[in-house]
Amino acid sequence: MNRWASGTLGTTEQVLVSCKGNQTAHIEKIFISNISGGSATYSIFHVQKGQAGGSSEALAYETTLATKRVAEYDGPIYLLPGDELKVVAGGTAAINMFAYGRST
């Protein structure tokens, strides 16, 4: 099983999982933790190959997570060659994301 980690997210989208070349991925779980002193928002996007991304690709969009809490998403989420899973936090939140699954 693979583990992909975001580190502490900021207000700029970053790639959590990327399928380069002929690679595919099967995401089984995503964990989001809020380690800040207040509530925070996060977004998760499944951006398909050749797409720009945005709210139409959102799996979660500006979702609020209370302080010191963890949210969990169960898959499956299938990423095809060229797809990306992008993540972003709102404001100066201290949000970390982890995805677990398999890549081929």
The count of other CB atoms within 10 Å of the CB of residue 70 is: 13
pLDDT-wise least confident of 20-24, 44-48, 67-71, 88-92: 88-92
Q: What is the pLDDT of residues 26-80, one digit of tens each?
A: 999 999 999 888 899 999 999 999 887 778 889 999 999 999 999 999 999 999 9
pTM over 0.95: no
| Consecutive H or E run containing 49 | none
Q: What is the CATH number of domain 2-103?
A: 2.60.120.260
How far apart are alpha carbons 47 and 57 in whole angstroms?
Answer: 6
> Residue 52: CB partners within 8 Å, gap ≥ 6?
none
**Dist. CA 69–CA 39, nearest whole Å:** 9
